[in-house]
Structure 1
Amino acid sequence: MRSVTPTAALLAALALTPLAACASMAPGAQMMRATPGDFGEATLINGTGARVGRAVFRQGATGLLIRIEATGLTPGWHGVHIHAVGECAAPFTSAGAHVNHGEPAARHGLLNAMGPDDGDLPNIHAAPDGSVNAEVFTTRARIADAGPGQWLWDADGSAIVIHANADDHTSQPIGGAGDRVACGVMAAG
């Protein structure tokens, strides 16, 4: 009898994993994928209209990667959301509510059993000098013509908003994230 090493057993199991995942899909179903490569950008401004950073959006096959670079924030955690209107007039309520296409609308919060809504993103952290360099990823929004998630280049555009406080990812309507302190209108690159 031939013995199987633990490494060989692990490699065999890993080789079968993709087949097991495909077997669980409905017959004839295909995973929706966006066309990678679409690009967008938003100049972030504060409540006085001063430029405080930028957000860069890159479409991947299964979601949207967002790189956020900002200065002038209060040190600590800040909630970040994608809002439904591409307008940033202080105090940034002009950006509207979060993007959300669910029927009925999903509840706010990445940790909410009834959520998340399509505009929910992970928190970002500002360093002691108020600067942020972060990347977040979402499968619930897209800038490509096709694929999963809310399409952000609709007739009234979209905006990315940074809040004064951290988002607790459960409470309504915005997880206790507080005032909108920075905003950027999203535009195709």
Structure 2
Amino acid sequence: MSALHPRSLLLVSAVTLGLVAASSAGAAEADATATLMGRDGATLGTVSIHQGPAGLALTIEAENMPPGPKAIHIHAVGDCSDGEEGFQASGGHVNPDGHQHGFLNSDGPDAGDLPNFYVHEDGTAWAQMFNERASLDGSVGVELLDADGAALVVHENPDDHMTQPIGGAGGRIACGVIEG
């Protein structure tokens, strides 16, 4: 194998620096956040939300959650004040177009559907997911920062992405109001 020409080495270094700078730019401050609270009011994690040209990028960082696969959905009302009652004040999924629930449903997904994520045995989780059916400002799909806001709700089980209305995901175990 031949050695790199000095100009090639300079080009490789410039590309590498550009990639590092681009990845650092990706760590910019979130456009919105949600603090996930358990039914007892304990903080279980945060979700950072970035507005992109084609929808939202959501990054979940959780701790002290029950282990196993979990469903997470965007709910229509930014109210998590009733944890003892299971966060019912957050309403159902954001779904202004009346689609059926689920990525595997031929009449879905609704705007609040998101992929499942996994909580490790130590109660921690990190996941990144995207939603092209919603935005913070209404530029894509449904607007989440409208008059009554929106919330992210974590369920006790995974979503099967087909069963109505929530994919068999079970009870609501955490909720976070989306704040911009």
The alignment's TM-score, normalised by the length of structure 1, stands at: 0.76
Q: Write the letter of the residue equivalent to 1:180.
A: R
How large is the RMSD of aligned CA atoms in angstroms? Answer: 1.2
Shift of 1:121: 0.2
Residue in structure 1 matching 2:50, options 33, 48, 58: 58
1:117 counterpart = 2:107: no
Equivalent positions of 1:9-158 (< 5 A) are 39-88=31-80, 89-90=82-83, 91-102=86-97, 105-144=98-137, 146-158=138-150
After TM superposition, the score normalised by the length of structure 2 is 0.80
What are the superposed Cα offsets for residues 41-80 of structure 1, whole Å, 9 maximum, x if unpaired? 1111000001111111000111100011111222211000
Matched-pair contact (CA < 8 Å) for 1:38–1:143: no
Distance in 1 between the 2:111 and 2:120 partners? 27
Equivalent residue in structure 2 for 1:163, among 138, 152, 155: 155
Partner of 1:180: 172
4+ runs deviating over 4 angstroms: none
Q: SS at the partner of 2:106?
A: coil
1:6 corresponds to: none
